[in-house]
Amino acid sequence: MKEIRIHGRGGQGAVLAAELLTIAAFEDNKYGQAFPAFGGERRGAPVQAFIRLDDRPIRLRYRVTTPDWIIVLDPTLLEIADVMQGLRPDGLVVINSERPPSSLAWTQDAWICCIPATRIAMEILGHPLVNTAMLGAFSAATGAVSLAAVQNAFRHRFPGELGEKNSRAAQAAYDWFYRTNAAPVKVAKTRPSFAVKPWETTPGLGAQGQRLHFAAVTGPRTALAYHTGTWRYNRPVIDPEKCTGCGFCEMYCPDTCILVDGKKYYADYEYCKGCGICVNECPADAIQMVAEEG
């Protein structure tokens, strides 16, 4: 039996990827099991999903703590979570990243395969929905499920043109793996494991664990104790040549993260959550959402 853990952010399709990976296993006449681990988190929050694959019926019913394979949909998760926790010594991590494996920060020695899934998704789907490309790359890197099975799973879930686009994204990632000879690379541990700081020791009015009236506002951007930019996987970039200074982005930003210096508008990335409202409201098309990595 093989155990897989998917790490992503809310809204990236980690749970759907787990479900469709299991359906792909059924297509290949294997047994599969998939379930998520998340609560009422907001968009951008770290989420996990778990999969088991086997040639025989699966009777286990608990979280995957020692995965054979790990799929990471968002490389910025490496900065805020120990995605490699429990990975078996001979395990493999397939991560969405344009960077070489050795340039990323890892909490243990491991085999790593980097796939430019965001670029592939933007070229084919027009949106940074990377789960399809990542499953295509996972198929190529592990052989656990066939590419045809992955494509059929998406076609069944999304009939019509959307299913075909997802099929092409999976094919593109699969082809990219073989075209570039993207064999897994062995990397060494470059950072310590994460230690969670107790909330009660966090200083500051309004910090986690501190008493505060529900209606109190402690300062600009409402939560100075938290740099909520870690929720983001895309960031708004303002082109000063196109910007007319109309102020719509500042007006509509729900977190007051668009700041003005003279006549120059810019986003405060410590607090910007990457919702993209400013992009939708800009009448001059002066703002674009770009991938967070790099």
Question: What is the model's pLDDT at position 226?
Answer: 59
Of 134, 156, 187, the residue at which a domain comes to its end is: 187
Between 193 and 186, whose confidence is greater?
Answer: 186
Same-domain pairing of 173 and 30: yes
Same-domain pairing of 40 and 150: yes
* pLDDT at 214 exceeding the cut of 50: no
Is residue 65 one of the residues assigned to a domain?
yes
Is residue 214 one of the residues assigned to a domain?
no
Distances (CA, A) of 56 to 40, 52, 210: 34, 11, 50
Contacts of 65 (CB under 8 A, 6+ apart): 85, 86
Is residue 222 one of the residues assigned to a domain?
no
Arithmetic mean of pLDDT, 90-100: 94
Question: What is the model's pLDDT at position 216?
Answer: 47
Of 133, 156, 187, the residue at which a domain comes to its end is: 187
Same-domain pairing of 63 and 10: yes
pLDDT in tens, 217-231: 444 444 555 567 777
Confidence of residue 172 (pLDDT cuts 50, 70, 90): very high
Same-domain pairing of 46 and 177: yes
User: What share of the chain in percent tops pLDDT 90?
Assistant: 61
Is residue 205 one of the residues assigned to a domain?
no
The single-letter DSSP state of residue 281 is H
Same-domain pairing of 180 and 247: no
Contacts of 141 (CB under 8 A, 6+ apart): 92, 94, 113, 177, 182, 184
Is residue 235 one of the residues assigned to a domain?
yes
Arithmetic mean of pLDDT, 29-45: 81
The residues with which 26 forms a beta bridge, in sequence order, are none
The one-letter amino acid code at 169 reads A
Same-domain pairing of 180 and 233: no
Same-domain pairing of 43 and 146: yes
Number of domains within the chain: 2
The residues with which 238 forms a beta bridge, in sequence order, are 287
Same-domain pairing of 178 and 235: no
Rounded distance between C-alpha atoms, residue 226 and residue 218, angstroms? 12
The one-letter amino acid code at 168 reads R
Give the number of other Cβ atoms within 10 Å of residue 54's Cβ.
16
Arithmetic mean of pLDDT, 64-70: 95
Polymer length of the chain = 294
Question: What is the model's pLDDT at position 15?
Answer: 92
Arithmetic mean of pLDDT, 76-83: 87
Question: What is the model's pLDDT at position 190?
Answer: 87
Strands (DSSP E) found in 46-91 = 46-54, 69-72
With H, G, I as helix, E, B as strand and everything else as coil, classify residue 129: coil
Confidence of residue 212 (pLDDT cuts 50, 70, 90): very low
Same-domain pairing of 49 and 130: yes
Is residue 194 one of the residues assigned to a domain?
no
Is residue 148 one of the residues assigned to a domain?
yes
Per the structure, the complete domain to which residue 285 belongs is given by 227-291
Is residue 197 one of the residues assigned to a domain?
no
Give the number of other Cβ atoms within 10 Å of residue 111's Cβ.
19
Arithmetic mean of pLDDT, 7-22: 92
Distances (CA, A) of 207 to 41, 211, 219, 264: 18, 8, 12, 32
Question: What is the model's pLDDT at position 182?
Answer: 82
